[in-house]
Amino acid sequence: MYNEIKTSFIAKIENVMLARTIGVGFLVNLDLKLNFVNEVKTIISESVTNAIVHGCLNNEKKYVNFNLSYDDVNVYIEVEDFGVGIADIDKAKEPLYSTKVDEERAGLGFTIMEVFSDKLEIKSKINEGTKVLMVKRYKWL
């Protein structure tokens, strides 16, 4: 079994809810447990928010790519922005670190993604953007 959806949307914060809704709707036929679905929604929220707020700097002229797929065992979540990029990925992954110190940001986005995912991979280039891939296992064979 394999299915995939690819979409793009403007880097507007209200599109975080859109991404969550797309994710839940896309995965509904897998008949997943509620706690699993809630963790996936959280992963989507954190990754899309990071892309919009930190990657694209809320620039509504930029787009975020959101790809979701699954196979017989895993759900794959990929979020890509074409924004400023991350200079130091290890630093960005530190709990409580935020590039938006003047705003009320917890600095826990990557920490939450890492906790709720079975795999977190971050690729970034300065002034080109960031791609985040998360894998979450839903079935053990």
Rounded to whole angstroms, the Cα distance separating 100 from 106 reads 9
DSSP 8-state secondary structure symbol assigned to residue 54: I
- Is 65:79 a contact under the CB 8 Å cutoff? yes
Query: Contact, 105 vs 48, CB < 8 A?
Result: no
User: DSSP per residue over 97-118, as a string?
Assistant: --S-TTS---S-HHHHHHHH-S
Which residues are designated catalytic? Answer: 46, 50, 105
Tell how strand 63-70 and strand 3-10 pair up.
antiparallel
